[in-house]
Amino acid sequence: MRLLVVEDNAALAAQLRVALVDSGFAVDSAADGEEGLFLGETEPYDAVVLDLGLPRLDGLSVLRRWRAGKNSVPVLILTARGSWTDKVEGLNAGADDYLAKPFAMAELVARLNALIRRAHGHAQPEISCGPLLIDTAAQTVTLEGAPVRLTAMEFRLLECLGHHLGQPVSKTHLTEHLYSQDFDRDSNTLEVIVARLRRKLGDTLIETVRGQGYRLSPPP
């Protein structure tokens, strides 16, 4: 899953990147509202962490422009402001959730996971596919009850397929949602990761759909 963090405090932005990458996300960053607005309009993200107090263009203006442009990406706003009216204004502008600074990184990660699940129509953190169970919160995978050890990239790809369970997911979509902006995106890497997943999970769960990409679905 790929995130955009729009935060002008360099120290906090660095802490956010480390925590989110450690939690399995690909992360892009913007240090002001104009850069954040541009990235949010031109890159596909699974969720956005958006500070309200930004230079050049404030967070509420960024959010309103995204929503006016029909950009429905889940947005969690960060604010140091204590007034409940600021939080209400953010939610009314189209935010999906908020956190007031200071906050615990574990709570931020949990809230982002919940936003992404809801955006894909999943109320629970577990995605079940026949004998396969993907726990998106704990970042664990079991096959017929036995744990399966995956690398961070293998889990990220499997999770992305799981969020589109039963539907073909194009290689372009996978590439856009698995890698951050500065990552060297080699299309052959996807094929290598899928091959590794099939060795660990069997050949029947991840199907190659000719001309459309890959699909995760339970075996017949």
- Fill in the DSSP letter of residue 95: -
Of the pLDDT bands very low, low, confident and very high (cuts 50, 70, 90), residue 197 is very high
Taking only the tens place, the pLDDT of each residue in 2-60 is 999 999 999 999 999 999 999 989 999 999 999 999 999 999 999 999 999 899 999 99
Of the pLDDT bands very low, low, confident and very high (cuts 50, 70, 90), residue 187 is low
CB 37 within 8 A of CB 46: no
Q: Which of 87-101, 127-141, 168-182 has the highest mean pLDDT?
A: 127-141
d(CA 46, CA 178): 10
d(CA 15, CA 211): 40
User: Tokens 């969690």 appear where?
Assistant: 76
Closest of 72, 26, 81 to residue 53, by C-alpha: 81
Taking only the tens place, the pLDDT of each residue in 129-139 is 999 999 998 88
Taking only the tens place, the pLDDT of each residue in 51-89 is 998 999 999 999 999 999 999 999 999 887 666 777 888
d(CA 140, CA 125): 11
CB 8 within 8 A of CB 62: no
Asked if residue 127 has pLDDT above 90, the reply is yes
User: Which residues make up the CATH 1.10.10.10 domain(s) of the chain?
Assistant: 126-216
pLDDT for the residue numbered 185: 61
218 upstream amide cis, omega within 30 of 0 = no
CATH of 126-216, one of 1.10.10.10, 3.30.1490.20, 3.30.565.10, 3.30.360.10: 1.10.10.10
Asked if residue 220 has pLDDT above 90, the reply is no
Q: Is the pTM of this model over 0.75?
A: yes
Burial class (CB in 10 A: 0-12, 13-18, 19+), 190: buried
Taking only the tens place, the pLDDT of each residue in 141-173 is 999 999 999 998 899 999 999 999 999 999 988
CB 161 within 8 A of CB 136: no
pLDDT for the residue numbered 20: 95
CATH of 2-119, one of 3.40.50.2300, 3.90.1150.10, 3.40.50.300, 3.40.50.150: 3.40.50.2300
CB 92 within 8 A of CB 64: no
User: Which residues make up the CATH 3.40.50.2300 domain(s) of the chain?
Assistant: 2-119
Of the pLDDT bands very low, low, confident and very high (cuts 50, 70, 90), residue 186 is low
